[in-house]
A and B are shown apart, each in its own frame.
Chain A
Amino acid sequence: MEMQKRLIETELSVLESGVWGTIGGYSVSAAKALAEYSGANYGLLCHSYDAAYEAVLRHFGARFDESQTSDATVVCEVSAPADSLVAVCVGSTPVFTDVCETCGMMRPKNLEAFLQSIELPIRAVVLDYLVGRKEDYKLSRVQEICREKKIPLILNVGGYIGARHEGKPLTDYCDAAIFTLGKGSAIDVGMSGLVLTNDMGIFQGAFAYHNCGRGFGEGASLVMNDIVGGDLRVTEWTAAAAQIILEEGALATPTPMVQEKMKGQPVFDTPYVKKQQ
């Protein structure tokens, strides 16, 4: 009840402020709080998971030469539909790699050979990071392979905000981690998406793609930068709600299905899971 009271007071203050969108205070502070909670340097809130993922994918596409009008995004064959559908929307071809039968995630040992077999330049590797799976999953090996090949690695972490791998923040293992703040997520604000990264360049690039080409700190001035950006912005309503829920420690409990999957398994250390134990 206290949280709800605080939520209502905060949202009413947003209403009275007149700043309801276009990079208000909460869109910045909530993203920062979520980044700190997750052990990342930078956070960017967008209006949905798809939007967050799109901002990052578009940024990764910008490194290609203008003659490279086709590229591939490597996704797991068992993954969220958005992983491949958003890739198509940004003009990239999804290429599917198989998954490990025990943990359901991308197979590191086959990844290197798989990447070499793809003829198109690769925009990114997107790994569905399934919290609560096998303890000995070699996420660091996936990261090594991607680094050697200079391919950005994106982790789709779903709703597991705050998840860790071997006790370390997920952003230590990837270029960007994407989260959803919708139904069934640790933080449910109806719909939103979060990008976390330790890389300032990725943060600024994704920010510009999400805000009409304007970088962080450029305000609402007319656009004179050299990328065409869209509008993937979160509203102050949603950002404020996310911040309140986080600050009140009111993260959602894992669903029964997730709890069942985690039962008896060595689990990755996440504050989300710890709440249940």
Chain B
Amino acid sequence: MLAIHGGTPVLKKNMPAWPQVTDIDREMLRDTLLSGNYNSGKLRKEFETAFAKDCGVAHCFAVANGTVSLELLLRGFGIGKGDEVILPPYTFIATLSSIVFAGATPVFADIDDSNYLISPASVEEKITDKTRAIVAVAVGGCPPDLDALEDIAKRHGIKFIVDAAQGVGAEWKGKSICAYGDAASISCQNSKNLTSGEGGIITTNDDVLAKNLEYMLSGGKDGDKFVSVAQDHRITELQASILLSQYSKLAREVVLRDKNAAYLAGRIKGLGFVEHLAYDERITTHAYHLFLMRFKKEELAKKGITRDQFIKALVAEGVPICSGYAPLYTFPCVTSRDTARMIGTNIDVTPLPVCDNASFAEGSWMGQAVLLSDRATLDAIVDAIIKVWEHAEELKNV
């Protein structure tokens, strides 16, 4: 019997905890607290140097979080009121709020049906003479088509920002995604694959941008002179100490998630009604912050059920799955008076068909901690998916 109807759930144990704490974290935190030095920036600089080196970039800034990081980038590029910034609607609100906070106008480009990432073709259609930047999100840790997007940005003379909030560890053609575009932004919020509770990282090879960021993060100062706006968004030493200790295990976890994702994808491959999203061969490492799947609506319709009903049943079986992002253009805040006031215009909220389909009909995901679990747990997840499918007709009234 399905668990949603009172049966026993397939999954009986919890997913691995996240974040995962090691003795390195305990030692690092204790040492930082004993030093009593919360202001020096020494640990922050140590992290920035190590991260920049590993990503192959000239500049790295560790900041308060992955939302202010995007806002700082936009301001650092001189983007603001009257300017348009293209972004996908299938992402967390922070991508949009950073554009609005910088005073610029968000413009939505549709996503690609094969991978739910921003579609280069749709981006190209949305470019106007006000477009100043593209923000492409590596949703779930999967890099979008960075080659095509860089080409579009170059041809139109606009900035290309990689929102790698979920993408730390991802690589495209053997190179960190943080080294692509004009700049990249990473989030170290509590759920992220590299976390300090809250935190953000900016990477760039652009020396002018780097200088602007230094000014903004130094109270707007160049020496004694005020040369720019400023907001104090530096990361604290306590956060930096945790970032350093957590960073020491990131590479190992990236390998484990990738291996487990491949196993999971292989197990659901032949089922016919569900599939893992397409994986571009140029992605040399997928960060797997999320394991995205598509429930094929035509197949579910044959059983008379919807994705949402299916997911409800899976959750009852103990599978930590959800239906993913709602399109940002459906959020009340996007069309609110306050937002229009902040940017001086209204945001175009025309629905986009591929995003609508992903959000309302087919998309789903499981979080990264699932991919740190053991083989038995992964098998149990697949068993639950099969079980629900075999009893799918019983879900019609759910």
Q: A183-B39, A190-B236 are in contact. Are A47 and B337 (CB under 8 A)?
A: no
- A86 vs B229: C-alpha distance when bound (angstroms): 7
* Contact B333–A226 (Cβ < 8 Å): yes
- How many A residues are at the interface, by size bracket? 35 or more
Interface status of B340 (Cβ within 8 A of chain A): yes
Q: When the two chains form their complex, are residues A15 and B25 in contact, meaning their CB atoms are under 8 A apart?
A: yes
The answer, yes or no, to whether A88 is at the interface (CB within 8 Å) is yes
* CB-based nearest A residue for B226: A81
User: What is the chain A residue whose CB lies nearest that of B198?
Assistant: A21
How extensive is the interface on chain B, given as a class? 35 or more
Determine whether A66 belongs to the interface, using a CB cutoff of 8 Å to chain B: yes
Pick from B36, B101, B344 the residue with the most CB of A within 10 Å.
Answer: B101
A59–chain B nearest beta-carbon distance, Å: 10
Number of A-B contacts (CB under 8 A): 196
A113 interface contact, C-beta 8 A: no
Chain B residue with minimal CB distance to A19? B190
Cα distance A51–B235 in the bound complex, in angstroms: 13
Q: With an 8 A cutoff between CB atoms, is B279 at the interface? A: no
- CA of A257 to CA of B208 in the docked complex: distance in angstroms? 38
Q: How far is the CB of B136 from chain A (nearest CB, A)?
A: 20
Task: Give 1 or 0 for each of A73-94: 1 = CB within 8 Å of chain B CB.
Answer: 0000000011001101101000
The residues of B that contact A189 with a CB separation of less than 8 Å are 38, 236
Chain A interface helix/strand/loop/mixed: loop
Kindly state the separation between the CA atoms of A224 and B260 in the bound complex, as whole angstroms.
34
Does B21 sit at the interface, judged by CB under 8 A? yes
Indicate if the CB atoms of B331 and A190 lie closer than 8 Å: no
Nearest-neighbour CB distance to chain B for A182, whole angstroms, equals: 7
B29 touches A190 (CB 8 A): no
Q: Which of A190, A223, A241 has the most CB of B within 10 A?
A: A190
Q: Does B363 contact A (CB under 8 A)?
A: no
Closest Cβ–Cβ distance, residue B365 to chain A (whole Å): 13
Asked if B189 is an interface residue, CB under 8 A from chain A, the answer is: yes
Complex CA distance for A262 and B236, rounded to whole angstroms: 31
Q: Is A61 an interface residue (CB 8 A)?
A: yes
Is B371 close to A, CB under 8 A?
no
- Contacts A7-B33, A66-B337, A226-B336 given; indicate if A191 touches B234 (C-beta within 8 A): yes
Which partner residue on chain A sits nearest B228 by CB separation?
A: A85
> At the interface, yes or no: B71 with Cβ under 8 Å from chain A?
yes
Of A16, A65, A88, the contact of B337 (CB 8 Å cutoff): A65
Bound complex: CA A50 to CA B64 (Å): 12
Q: Is A188 an interface residue (CB 8 A)?
A: yes
Given A8-B30, A91-B81, A233-B65, also A82-B21 (CB < 8 A) = no
Interface residues in chain B, defined as those with a beta carbon under 8 Å from any beta carbon in chain A: 17-19, 21, 25-26, 29-30, 33-34, 36, 38-39, 64-68, 71, 75, 81, 93-94, 96-98, 100-101, 103, 189-191, 195-199, 219-220, 226, 229-234, 236-239, 242, 325-326, 331-334, 336-342, 344
The 4 closest A-B pairs by CB, nearest first: A20-B197, A190-B38, A21-B197, A231-B67
